[in-house]
Homo-oligomer: A and B are copies of this chain.
């Protein structure tokens, strides 16, 4: 019995069923009905099949709806470039069509690395098991000398964050080269007496990134940040699959909007940021929260988290990191929406605190502690002056 990858598309055509049939043949064996019988027998294992076709709207002689196509697992090699080229290579250019979902059967799933650490592994490293984690972002990185970055880092750690990440646009780091940052930040972490993960931005020629990651680890890196889409999913896969890269990988969604933002084109955010990031090996997945000005809609944001964490029989769950626009007053909502296994990630919400970044982090930690105990933020603010100030500035109760 051959197994299939089930792929669903939102598309528009005069006849959706016919379109589905043309995809099932056109994206696999090329042609079918005109083939001689012997050729059909040879190619049958490679032929795609039409799954469900659901028409949601008919207007002006056009049908819109979801079609699903089944691609034989044997048509692809177990990597994301092969998968995406096969199911959405040429097809992405064929009129109104959005790649909505991909369901990978267990045999293929098992050939992708998935997260090496996942939620449990990261909690283990941090020794934090019973609350959402807190991450902060440098206010900015580009152009700052090491001592200024060290001061930012120290304030964030002092306030109690679990993780700190580089700015994703931090490519030119000549004033604070990677090895020097790692040394300086690790000294600050050590002095704090508490584990903190620092996600260093992994940059450089893509064919050298595996070696660069190992170099970073030699220099003390405890976590790596990657702009997955600008570099391509496959390098995340190769980093995750390498046994010597023994630190968690954090996926940044840079450029993701170019794929998911249009209604009728591109790749859906739950697939792109939830399923594919996890499949390729992200331990933590940053993506737009449903709250800020740079926002994903609420349902999609929850679905990304579901794909990141759901039991899929093969891979560890990854941490969703719904980001942008997060301030302490939003922690109740975040906890309601995402539960305990989430990373609360803030930039302006930490650095913009009236007393600075250390109290900014303290405000978040107090907010997290409150909601985990089932308290209101107002109640939490009674024993946390930083939280009281934050709620005054940003609202929340």
Residues of A within 8 A of B (CB): 27-31, 42-43, 45-46, 74-77, 79-82, 84-86, 88-97, 99, 139-140, 142-145, 167-169, 171-172, 203, 205-210, 227, 230-235, 237-238, 252-259, 261-262, 264-267, 288, 293-294, 296, 324
B residues less than 8 Å from A210 (CB atoms) = 207
* A77 partner residues in chain B, CB cutoff 8 A: 171-172, 203
**Smallest Cβ distance from A357 to chain B, in angstroms?**
14
A81 near B265: Cβ-Cβ < 8 Å: no
How many Å lie between the Cα of A29 and that of B169 in the bound state? 10
Which residue of chain B lies nearest to A79 when distances are taken between CB atoms in the complex? Answer: B205
Add 19 more A-B contacts to A81-B230, A89-B168, A93-B294 (CB < 8 A): A30-B142, A43-B142, A43-B143, A45-B143, A75-B142, A77-B171, A81-B203, A84-B254, A85-B169, A85-B230, A90-B294, A94-B293, A95-B294, A258-B259, A258-B266, A259-B266, A261-B262, A262-B262, A266-B266
Given A262-B262, A266-B258: A84 touches B230 (CB 8 Å cut-off): yes
Which listed residue, B92, B143, B234, B294, touches A29 by the CB 8 Å rule?
A: B143
B230 near A231 with CB under 8 A, answer: no
* Shortest distance from the beta carbon of A77 to any chain B beta carbon, whole Å: 5
The distance in angstroms between the C-alpha atoms of A144 and B44, with both chains bound, is 11
CA distance A266 to B255 in the complex (A): 9
Kindly provide the distance from the CB of A136 to the nearest chain B CB, expressed in whole angstroms. 14
CB < 8 Å neighbour of A169 from B89, B94, B140, B206: B89
Asked if residues B255 and A84 are in contact (CB atoms below 8 Å), the reply is: yes
Question: A76–B28 Cα gap in the complex (Å)?
Answer: 40
Chain B nearest CB: distance from A166 CB in Å?
12
Cβ contact of A85, chosen from B30, B31, B46, B255, cutoff 8 A? B255
Docked Cα-Cα span, A169 to B75, in Å, equals 8
How far, in angstroms, from A279 to B85 measured CA to CA in the complex? 22
Q: Name the CB-closest residue of B to A77.
A: B171
Among A86, A88, A90, A99, the most chain B Cβ lie within 10 Å of the Cβ of A90
Which of B30, B234, B252, B253 is A231 in contact with, Cβ under 8 Å? B234
